[in-house]
Structure 1
Amino acid sequence: MKQSRQVHLDSLRGIAALIVIIVHYLAVFYPYTVFGNQGSYLQRADWENIFFYPPFGLIVAGHFAVCLFFILSGYVLSYSHLGDLQRKQKILVSIIKRPIRLGGLVWFTIICGALLWHFGLFFNVAVSDLTSSKPWVSHFWGDSFNFKAFFIDLAFSSFSKGTIYNPPLWTIKKELYGSIMVYLFLLLLGSFKYRILVSTLLVILFRDSLYQGFWIGLLIADIMKTYSSSIKFPKIYCYLLLILFVYLSSYPHYVNQDFLGSTIYKYLPDDKGFAGGYPMISALSLFLLAISSNQLKKLLNLPFLQFLGGISYGLYVIHFLVIGSFSSWLFLSLNSYFSFNISFLLTLLSGLPFIIFTAYLATKYVDNPSIRLADYLGNKIILLLIYRP
């Protein structure tokens, strides 16, 4: 029987996207909360220290959110193909569809970023002078806009050079390549008797790469499809996973080693040799809870979280353009009349609904048509493969 869509996992994407939005707002306006006291990132208030303690650190756990994205992708993309009798044909079609499915919002946000850049509507450099968020936020869109380079990048290297116009697109490039790696694994080893052993080895071999998240997701999907359609942990293990998630999700991934030594995480072994590090372990803990805990599934099925999940891709790829343009402009305007903290609060309360609204529109008018186009072309290709003479 065909497995119904695990819609509660969409909510996890929405939550992860919201975390990324918040961490970028704080990195721009309160950089100490994310980077610590390295460089010119100055602490403005005592309350900023709470983000180096659980559970508050989850609010700025951007690396955790990215790791969760990739685990989810590895799981969802592989789960639908494992055990399918027409697996090879469908995987070939999925490989062709993937750039089209992802490409709609990539192209759209690159064009939006280019237009904002060309017309001088990014105010991130001016904001960095007030918030001490140099050098991180000040180097985006810093050079003069080049039309010729833009058209070349848009036409030939959207996934590789899209970050020039919309910085968070670096993860979409990894999403594309990681997805294709998962599909190729299923294509070549989908019927191999010991494929779980191979995917376990890949999890280990990719420990110094964020692509490890895809292999973790694939491994869990394969275990569930092969041995059981669901995982049920005893309550004690669920509590342990919850504690592990809460503790490690607040790990300050972006601070330097000296600052880390002043936090409650100073006793942990160094994770710098692992690309995902402790945030990957935390993301895995939450994911295991999400697929095993009925209580958490019920929470993730709340309408608002489902709504965020439905527009999560739009939230992720649009938010930084809004922060660099509208939110930065608004903060500069408000800061002339209000205190720094009040200006930021009003900026955040205005920026979040704006991001959600624009993400909804982009999902409806750009992302959904891209999905339909990918499905249409995919169906045509399947017919050609099945009924070819």
Structure 2
Amino acid sequence: MPGDVEEASEAKEWEDNNGWLGSGAPWKAVKSALTSGLLRPLLLRPTRTGDASTSGVGPSEKKLRPTAYLDGLRGFAAFIVYWHHHELWARRREEAGFLEHGFGHGGQHYLASFPGIRTFFGGGHFAVSIFFVISGYVLSTKPMSLIHAGDQAKLADNLGSALFRRWLRLYIPLICVTFIYMTSWHLFPFWIDGAKKQSTYGKELWAWYAELKNFSFVFNGGGEPWFTYGFHLWSIPVEFRGSIVVYTILLALARCSRNARLWLETGLVFYFLYIADGWYCALFSAGVLLCDLDLLAAKDDLPAFFGRLRPHSKALFNTALAVSFYLGGVPSSSTDLKNLRDAGGWYYLSYLKPQAVFDYKWFYLFWAATLLVASIPRTPWLRRFFEARFCQYLGRLSFALYLVHGPVLWTLGDRMYALAGWENDARKEHIPGWLGKFPLPQIGPKGLEVAFLLPNLVLLPVTFYCAEVVTRMFDEPSVRFPQWFHKKTLGRPAGLPG
């Protein structure tokens, strides 16, 4: 998911001192992005990571912003998505079941499926839930501070600007990456599992456009939610819809008193989770509520109720963290509640699922993600981990990593796993020449086999390199360009001469 840094802190705008096509227009910046995006990663030059660089000056030497731990958490969650998809893709479907079922299912007691630990192997949906809570929090930070200050004029400007820029911010990188991926199908004669390649590039371009235009309309009520040029990108339209939920909540509650606002935010979470099947709205709304509470806590302006809990805060947040890790490993092999009840350690928990929720996993993942985001800033060792240099680097790459890990997996990854000896019917049929050319032993703990880890010594650096290129060429410009574009569309303030 996007870093949302444009909402959390001020970013440099693209200037245009001579009109729309003057010397300051963004075309020079585009050229710079193209050259630096391709060449600088090759030269391994330092790059800025939020408020700290990935080399040279680290987080310990430069001051991190207060929400830097959320950047690190988002980056680590993106890495979990990468790892989960590779664990699934390398194996036959029937062999990957341990990632979706509970510990002990079918007599299988793998460490990788043990509660808590399973999050690091099959926590992709948990990671998406974390993305949504973080987005709700970060998108609220600036406007919520304006609500607290009672500055309604600046709040209106902030929300208008944020909503103007949000679609562009989310979809520009997606369009660029999927266009390049689609084009590669016709530049290189390789097979891709699941791809429905058209007979000509022109037909492919039209097929991509036809899907993209529907995928870009986030209120589309029909058809499949998938984009076949990036199946894992289903969460991007959900991200935009959730962003609109956040902006609407902030606008609707802007003039409410503190207590009324907190009660209404809590009521919305309850409505989305227990009355309507609005699980993603609940996740974004929880982010808004957590942001509100944190800003109030920073001013020592929380309701008195929270003061009575303060002596027990360490125990409460340690417990919340443990509960989060357990719930984050909810079995997700199907939407049938019976499967959850049959899973070890989930029988009684299954009765907590509200009637409104169709896919039960999102109910448990809501609590897992919300409790985790609430606990990290109150758990010093965990906060330090997410503020560390590597997690901050992952945070800077997170959106690009989310975008590119699929294409790398479906092209290079399939062949690397085939070389290492991972067989399935599709590989036997389409790339038999790759199968078992460099067989590696499938020994070691389930999920950490030698034949799985060694291919990732190639796949992980390649994916990180591609993510670095996409970050510089498309992701970072997709923050600056909408800011510049919004500025150019603004009229003169009322009362000023035309």
In 2, Cα distance between the equivalents of 1:170 and 1:121?
27
Give, in angstroms, the shift of residue 90 of structure 1.
1.2
Deviations 1:282-341 (CA, angstroms, capped at 9, x unpaired)? 111211112323332222111011000111111111111111111012222332130473
Could you say what the CA RMSD is over the residues aligned between the two structures, in angstroms?
Answer: 3.0
Identify the residue that residue 432 of structure 2 maps to in structure 1. none
SS at match of 2:280: coil
Query: What are the equivalent positions in structure 2 for 1:246-261 lying under 5 Å apart?
Result: 246-255=325-334, 257=337, 259-260=339-340, 261=342
Structure 1 residue 326 corresponds to structure 2 residue 412: yes
In 2, Cα distance between the equivalents of 1:112 and 1:368?
18
Give, in angstroms, the shift of residue 203 of structure 1.
0.7
Residues 148, 310 of structure 1: CA spacing in aligned structure 2 closer, same or farther, 3 A cutoff? same
Structure 1 residue 179 corresponds to structure 2 residue 260: no
Deviations 1:243-285 (CA, angstroms, capped at 9, x unpaired)? 2122222222335656541423233225385352212211112
The alignment covers a number of residue pairs equal to 368
Residues 257, 192 of structure 1: CA spacing in aligned structure 2 closer, same or farther, 3 A cutoff? closer
Query: What amino acid does structure 2 have at the position aligned with 1:64?
Result: F
Query: What are the equivalent positions in structure 2 for 1:132-143 lying under 5 Å apart?
Result: 140-142=194-196
Residues 306, 229 of structure 1: CA spacing in aligned structure 2 closer, same or farther, 3 A cutoff? farther
In 2, Cα distance between the equivalents of 1:123 and 1:257?
38
- Are the aligned partners of 2:317 and 2:375 in contact in 1 as well (CA < 8 Å)? yes
Identify the residue that residue 65 of structure 1 maps to in structure 2. 127
Identify the residue that residue 396 of structure 2 maps to in structure 1. 310
**Unaligned 5+ runs, structure 1:** 126-139
Deviations 1:64-123 (CA, angstroms, capped at 9, x unpaired)? 111110000001101211132201111011100111111221112221332244457675
Query: What are the equivalent positions in structure 2 for 1:1-12 lying under 5 Å apart?
Result: 4-12=65-73
Residues 330, 279 of structure 1: CA spacing in aligned structure 2 closer, same or farther, 3 A cutoff? same
In 1, Cα distance between the equivalents of 2:365 and 2:463?
26
In 2, Cα distance between the equivalents of 1:363 and 1:329?
26
Give, in angstroms, the shift of residue 225 of structure 1.
2.7
Identify the residue that residue 266 of structure 2 maps to in structure 1. 200
Identify the residue that residue 86 of structure 2 maps to in structure 1. 25
Give, in angstroms, the shift of residue 196 of structure 1.
2.3
Identify the residue that residue 338 of structure 1 maps to in structure 2. 439
Identify the residue that residue 59 of structure 2 maps to in structure 1. none
Identify the residue that residue 292 of structure 1 maps to in structure 2. 378
Give, in angstroms, the shift of residue 234 of structure 1.
2.1
Deviations 1:164-206 (CA, angstroms, capped at 9, x unpaired)? 2111211011111111221122223222232322221211121
Residues 385, 104 of structure 1: CA spacing in aligned structure 2 closer, same or farther, 3 A cutoff? farther
Residues 299, 12 of structure 1: CA spacing in aligned structure 2 closer, same or farther, 3 A cutoff? same
Structure of higher CA gyration radius: 2
Give, in angstroms, the shift of residue 12 of structure 1.
0.5
Deviations 1:319-375 (CA, angstroms, capped at 9, x unpaired)? 111111110122223321304734433222221121111111111111111111122
Return the structure number with greater relative CO, CA threshold 8 A, min gap 6.
1
Query: What amino acid does structure 2 have at the position aligned with 1:192?
Result: C
Name the % identity. 25
- Are the aligned partners of 1:52 and 1:251 in contact in 2 as well (CA < 8 Å)? no
Residues 96, 243 of structure 1: CA spacing in aligned structure 2 closer, same or farther, 3 A cutoff? same
SS at match of 1:254: coil
- Are the aligned partners of 1:74 and 1:217 in contact in 2 as well (CA < 8 Å)? yes
In 2, Cα distance between the equivalents of 1:278 and 1:98?
28
Residues 82, 32 of structure 1: CA spacing in aligned structure 2 closer, same or farther, 3 A cutoff? same
- Are the aligned partners of 1:110 and 1:166 in contact in 2 as well (CA < 8 Å)? yes
In 1, Cα distance between the equivalents of 2:189 and 2:247?
40
